[in-house]
Amino acid sequence: MSEWLWDHGGEGFAHVYRAEEVLFDATSPYQRVRIIRTPAFGRMLVLDDAVQTSEADEFCYHEMLAHLPLVTHPAPKRVLIIGGGDGGLLEEALKHPVERVVMVEIDRMVVDATRQWIPQIPGNAFDDPRTELRIEDGFAYVRACAERFDVALVDSTDPQGPSVPLFGAPFYGDLYRILGEDGILAVQSGSPLYQQDLVAEVRRNLRQYFPVVRTYLACVPSYPGVLWTFTVGSKRHDPRAVPAEQVERRVAGMSLRYYTGSVHAASLIAPPFLREVLEA
């Protein structure tokens, strides 16, 4: 039995995957949740028709969204994750000597389906005593939050349905309020090829609050167009000013497969086609 999954990117193109097996397929109050097995990328989490993560390349995305902001902060102890239901980002964050990670995911079905069918992505992160998992809307949680954090990471779906407010200025303003004086926020900000408006909008919204705004790149083979962006909003520390030696020192022993001191520096260099977008 095989069927094809079409994950549409921009106008007129898509990544197409042959699904050898559909391991899980159900619809939650928020979205259709599927776990499929593919020959090229192994098991994949698919929400509606968009690939979220896969066995083969989850490290590319999760390492870059987690480690660049966590290493840029001098000594993060309290981390907030919004979204990230597959637990891959949580697992990366817990590799640091943090004391507490609060993860706020709106859809329990995403967490349960990934833990059951792709357990190697979260590993034991959900059982780590430092983890607090909250199943609720991230926008509402941050708006009412009284706790303070050092680093916040937003690993949301692309802007549709419940994730739309997670790209907006009011949400970034609320996050600015609950981040400490060395506070750093990092968000997934879409494709630099076919979501240039989104990248520019995220930067504009972050700049309303954060003096330092930096967009960086990574290759995520299972995402349409492969090249992906993340954007940091920082109160004080500039990821561009982090020496490679500091990165190597901070990630020593984590046996990372993507993020290194030189990748950190290179990811912050925008090629000319993107510089126009970033300067917009």
Active site residues: 155
Q: Closer CB to ligand SAM, residue 217 or residue 242?
A: 217
- 251 within 8 A of 259, measured Cβ to Cβ: yes
Question: Which residue, among 204, 264, 271, has the nearest Cα to 240 in the 3D structure?
Answer: 264
In the complex, least distance from residue 205 CB atom to ligand SAM, rounded to whole angstroms: 16
Q: Closer CB to ligand SAM, residue 76 or residue 84?
A: 84
Q: Where are the alpha helices (DSSP H) in the chain?
A: 58-72, 88-93, 108-117, 138-144, 169-178, 196-207, 244-251, 261-267, 272-279
- 99 within 8 A of 132, measured Cβ to Cβ: no
> Where is 265: in which H helix or E strand?
helix 261-267
For the chain, the first-to-last Cα distance in angstroms comes to 48
Q: Closer CB to ligand SAM, residue 82 or residue 206?
A: 82
In the complex, least distance from residue 188 CB atom to ligand SAM, rounded to whole angstroms: 4
Q: Closer CB to ligand SAM, residue 216 or residue 250?
A: 216
Strands 32-38 and 21-27: antiparallel
Q: What's the Cα-to-Cα distance from 169 to each of 47, 174, 212, rounded to whole Å?
A: 25, 9, 15
> What is the contact surface with ligand SAM in residues (CB under 6 A)?
30, 52-53, 61, 82-86, 104-107, 110, 137-139, 155-158, 162-163, 166, 188
User: Cα separation of 116 and 109, whole Å?
Assistant: 10
In the complex, least distance from residue 51 CB atom to ligand SAM, rounded to whole angstroms: 8
Q: Closer CB to ligand SAM, residue 86 or residue 201?
A: 86
In the complex, least distance from residue 218 CB atom to ligand SAM, rounded to whole angstroms: 11
In the complex, least distance from residue 169 CB atom to ligand SAM, rounded to whole angstroms: 16
Please give the torsion angle defined by the CA atoms of residues 30, 194, 57 and 53, in that order, rounded to the nearest 10 degrees. 0
Tokens representing 230?
A: 């993340």
Return the bridge partners of 83, or none. Answer: 155
DSSP 8-state secondary structure symbol assigned to residue 178: H
